[in-house]
Homo-oligomer: A and B are copies of this chain.
Amino acid sequence: MKLTILGNGAGGPFQGRHYTAQVLETGNQMYLIDCGEGTQAQLYHHRIRYDRVKQVFISHLHGDHVFGLVGLLTSLCLKQRETRLQVFSPPGLQELVEHTFRLCGVITPYPLLFEAVDPSAHALVFDNKQVEVWSIPLHHRTPCCGWLFREKIKPRNMRKEAIERYQIPFSDMPNIKAGADWRDASGQSIPNAELTTEPAKPASYAFCSDTAPSEQVVACVQGVDLLYHEATFLREQEAEAHVSFHSTAEQAAHIALKAGVRQLLLGHFSARYRDLAAHLSEAQAVFSNVLVAEEGQVYGVGDGV
């Protein structure tokens, strides 16, 4: 999996930051997570072929996470998209988009499906051959959910030398990759371990923004490879974080520690902070493997990168 940060800012197009949006790629699939105003410009700027996206996941209906969606969906009309697009979010987004489109005369030439997700449940909301996506209940001022992407167990990797040695036909490979032994023309059984190597461990990514610190999040994101957790504020502004249902960098680090995640990525920074060194050091004092999300940066998730 690889994750591209398009926006790491909260509340305004300030300090050169953009509103929340990110792209997660796994295998040949691309997922868009949140879509603040200006997301399509960021996708273009970072040369991401967003017409490849088939699923969009929106955490909540605050402008800085969703006001770019109608523009992006409209631009996909101009690109004459025909492929179906699914949009997952807490309830209300379908009404918002369809009402806007009716008033603005937008008719999508592609099937556009809205999937209303219960933001209070940790539930499987989508899966395909490669991943499962689970909702994560977040604790914000408005119904809000995070998203947990879990790669499925991958097929084992064929050993090239075994293919050549035993002249294994292509048609037998799916079974072998699934773990089966193989019988050659003489009837001899070759054990799977001789034919394959372990696949990369399935990677997992959890997106948690916006949220106050939450034990439910800790439970849902246990052991993930990468946790993106909002850190709108610093400890000094903890009271402000509390009333606005946001987190400090320190609180995000405690969540990462309790959940035993591999790496923490901080984001959703208030416009008041020009520099993010304090976020990093505040979190590092609690949890060592932490990064500050930078726009345009690509972060590898899991072993397979």
Contacts and interface: CB of A to CB of B under 8 A. Distances in A.
A14 interface: yes
A106 B142 CA distance: 11
A40 to B, nearest CB: 6
A67 B66 contact: no
Nearest to A68: B37
A104 B63 contact: yes
A61 interface: yes
A44 interface: yes
Interface centre among A18, A44, A142 (most CB of B within 10 A): A44
A224 to B, nearest CB: 29
Interface in A254-275: none
A191 interface: no
Nearest to A40: B13
Interface in A106-150: 106, 141-142
Contacts of A68: 37
Interface in A37-95: 37-38, 40-41, 44-45, 61-63, 66-68, 70-71, 74-75, 78, 92-93, 95
Contacts of A37: 37-38, 40-41, 67-68, 71
A96 interface: yes
A93 B68 CA distance: 17
Task: State the 7 A-B residue pairs at the shortest beta-carbon distance, nearest first.
Answer: A13-B41, A37-B71, A63-B74, A67-B71, A92-B103, A61-B104, A96-B103
Contacts of A44: 12-14
A105 interface: yes
A11 interface: yes
